Amino acid sequence: MGEYLVMFHKVVPDALGDDRSVLQRRAVVAARSDVAAAYAAKAMFSEAAGIADWRMRADTCVVIALPAAWREIGIGAEGGEPARSAPRGAERAPAPPPALAAHA
C-alpha cells in the first residue's frame, strides 16, 4: 500500500482578470493505487466541507505518489497533512538588540 498526496484546486480570477489556480485542500492518503487515493480524498473533502460533491469547491484533483523515503522521515504522519513550509515573507524575524547597559 502506498501513500499519495492529493490536492484540490479551484481556478479563480485575480484582480487583473487573469486565472489563478488556488489550492483548496490537500491530504496524504494511504491507498492501493492513485485512483483509490483520489476516490478516498474526494469523499474526505466532500464530508469535511459538508457538500455533496467535491466539484462544488474545486475544479481539479491532482494525485502524486509519495516516495517511500517520505514515510521514513515522517512527512504526512500527523493529521493526514504533509508538512507545510512557512508562507512567503514569514521568515524568522531578526533577534531584538541586547538591552543597553545603564550608564553610570
Which tens digits make up the pLDDT trace of 40-52?
999 999 999 999 9
CA angle 56, 28, 10 (to 5 degrees): 25
Model pTM score: 0.65
Distance CA 32, CA 9 (A): 23
With a cut of 70, say whether residue 89 has pLDDT above it: no
Mean pLDDT of the 9-25 span: 94
Contact 18, 28 (CB under 8 A): no
Residue 1: band (very low, low, confident or very high) from pLDDT cuts 50, 70, 90: confident
Distance CA 21, CA 46 (A): 19
In the chain, % of residues over pLDDT 90: 62
**Least reliable range by pLDDT among 11-15, 56-60, 99-103:** 99-103
With a cut of 60, say whether residue 5 has pLDDT above it: yes
Distance CA 24, CA 47 (A): 14
4 vs 96: which has the higher pLDDT: 4
pLDDT of residue 36: 96
C-alpha cell read off for 78: 500527523
With a cut of 80, say whether residue 66 has pLDDT above it: yes
List residues bridging with 4 in a β-sheet. Answer: 29, 65
